[in-house]
Amino acid sequence: MMDIIDLSLPQLALSLRRGELSSREIAQAYLDQIERLEPQLHAFITPTPELALAQANQADSRLSEWRKAPHGDLPHLCGIPLAIKDVLCTAGVRCTCGSRILENFVPPYSATAVERLLEDGVLLLGKTNTDEFAMGSSTENSAFGTTRNPWDPERVPGGSSGGSAAAVAARMAPAALGTDTGGSVRQPASYCGVVGLKPTYGRVSRFGLVAFGSSLDTVGVFGQTVAEVALIYQRIAGHDPKDSTCVDLPLNSIKLDQTPGTALKGLRIGIPDEYFHTAVAGSGIQSEVETSIRQAIAQMESFGATVEIIHLRYTPYALPVYYLIAPAEASANLARYDGVRYGARTENASSMWDVFYKTRGGKFGAEVKRRIMLGAYALSAGYYEAYYGQAQKARTLIKEEFERAFQSVDVIAAPTTPTTAFRIGEHADDPLSMYLEDIFTLPANLAGVPAVTFPVGFDRQGLPIGMQLMAAHFQEERLLQIAHAYQLVSEWHLHQPPLSKPHSNRLTL
Ligand code: GLN
């Protein structure tokens, strides 16, 4: 006996092709799970059940046409439901970015990543919760309430894509899109025990992604397993003339290898010494996190990988560099929310300046205001060179250091986060301690390299632990092959949070 929501994405796709399941049945199974768990977890800002069912009907017609002549092209994802982080534009469905300032903003177009999925016949289950404008590590900065971690609802799911991570972990969606500017796919994926991929900067179009830090923003993917992530990644990646930073490089179709040795034999894994020192990791790494990472690496070694200790000496600078560059870019990007062109506008203003002042003052949350002030200060005349200019130089050093490292190793293995999921409220009054959560994820964004996180264990409290692998630019496929190889020989990704069961929709396959 299997439940529809326990099937992997490739299994769902196969059942749809064979006509064993309809897209409507699949959509209904996920919508039932959302209805059951949403009151407890609050993973969605805007669920879209009617839209999902209407799209399912369309997908079912497309599938039945295809079955009459099954040799034509049928996109792999046709009829599959997904959840989308609420910072990616969706035509006709509001996109709030977790902010009161965009509470009623309905975009007239969809982000390229979303558009490509919709063209394939994907259904939209809803828009998932996020920290306001993706600024945060817990979803506590969302204007629409905090998402809860399915493994322990007293804890955060991570952020900023916490809604997408929680939805996938609790089987409210088979997979989801998120965004990663400084770790916002990898950190919540790690906290929720799912797979998360942050592609190379420029690999996936940013068109229609509401800008936060434009030189760092990437669109990423969450899945139960690597299989989901690979299927979605290869559909959303690739050149887009609407984003001038999106590269025009060939993209292979990814076929995950079914023997673990292929990706692991001879693989050179680098372990950055600095990541394990308290000088970098603040109060240090939780010992269970370090143990699980080391065990996962040892397991890879047993399949023929080799390990080398490497040095990334600029790692301690990643945090201050990121927290200058990201807020600087954010302060420029968020200048557009002036009450005139987009989103909310204050009712009672007496002058143009009053419109700006009252709209922005009243509608932005505390963290967004903090970033705008930090960023505007770093960019202001007289300070520009000292802060922003210096940060850009240090960023180049970090990027070059990664490039050097990848001359001697194929991938860099590290914890995704120093600890497992923290309690709601634990860091809420201390922005700096919240920023420290990002210490291991920020460097990949600064260097622009791809990174994947996947489950490698649980701590004593039953909270998931994630391991991160980083590779040279455009090596996403390699990362996915390695993570998949690990999942062939481990079972961490098969665990489910207890509250995701029980449910109906039983089905015999
Ligand atoms: N937590 C980081 C921040 O607050 C990263 C956010 C992100 O990747 N969107 O900026």
CA 290, 294, 296, 300: dihedral to nearest 10 degrees?
160
Catalytic option among 15, 23, 85, 363: 85
The pLDDT of residue 283: 66
Q: What is the pLDDT of residue 433?
A: 85
Q: 158, exposed or middle or buried, with CB in 10 Å at 0-12, 13-18, 19+? A: buried
Q: What is the pLDDT along the chain (509 residues), one digit of tens a residue?
A: 579 999 999 999 999 999 999 999 999 999 999 999 999 999 999 999 999 999 999 999 999 999 998 778 899 999 999 999 999 999 999 999 999 999 999 999 999 999 999 999 999 999 999 999 999 999 999 999 999 999 999 999 999 999 999 999 999 999 999 999 999 999 999 999 999 999 999 999 999 999 999 999 999 999 999 999 999 999 999 999 999 999 999 998 999 999 999 999 999 999 999 998 765 656 679 999 999 999 999 999 999 999 999 999 999 999 999 999 999 999 999 999 999 988 899 888 999 999 999 999 999 999 999 999 999 999 998 989 999 999 999 999 999 999 999 999 999 999 999 999 999 999 988 888 888 889 999 999 999 999 999 999 999 999 999 999 999 999 999 999 999 999 999 999 999 999 998 654 444 44
Whether residue 85 lies in the annotated active site: yes
Structure tokens at 327: 């807020």
**What strand order describes the sheet that includes 175-180?**
44-47, 123-128, 81-85, 175-180, 218-223, 195-198, 451-458, 464-471, 411-415, 268-272, 306-310
SS3 of 357-403 = HHHHHHHCCHHHHHHHHHHHHHHCCCCCHHHHHHHHHHHHHHHHHHH
* Residue of 437, 473, 423 whose CA lies nearest to 322: 437
Ligand 1 pocket, residue 260 CB under 6 Å = no
Best mutation site among 99, 129, 135, 369 for ligand 1, i.e. most ligand atoms within 8 A of its Cβ?
135
pLDDT of residue 348: 86
Closest atom of ligand 1 relative to the 326 alpha carbon = 10
Measured in whole angstroms, how far is the alpha carbon of residue 147 from the centre of its chain? 15
Going from N- to C-terminal start, the domains of the chain cover 4-270+450-500
Q: Does the annotation mark 380 as catalytic? A: no
Q: Catalytic residue, from 160, 164, 205, 292: name it.
A: 160
Ligand 1 lined by 326 (C-beta under 6 Å): yes
Provide the pLDDT for residue 507: 47
CA 356, CA 333: separation in Å to the nearest integer?
A: 15
The CATH homologous superfamily for domain 4-270+450-500 is Amidase signature (AS) domain (3.90.1300.10)
184 lines ligand 1 (CB under 6 A): yes
Give the atom of ligand 1 at the shortest distance from the alpha carbon of 136.
4
Quick check: CB of 136 below 6 Å from ligand 1?
yes
Rg (alpha carbons) of the chain, rounded to whole number: 22
pLDDT value of residue 440: 95
Rounded CA-CA distance 225/305 in Å is 22
The amino acid occupying position 504 is S
For residue 135 and ligand 1, the question of a CB distance below 6 A is answered with yes
Find all residues with CB under 8 Å of 11, minimum gap 6, and list them. Answer: none
Q: What is the pTM of this model?
A: 0.96
Phi-psi region of 282 (alpha: psi -120 to 50; beta: other; left: phi over 0): left
Q: Does 180 contact ligand 1 (Cβ within 6 A)? A: yes
Q: Ligand 1 mean position to 479 CA, how many Å?
A: 22
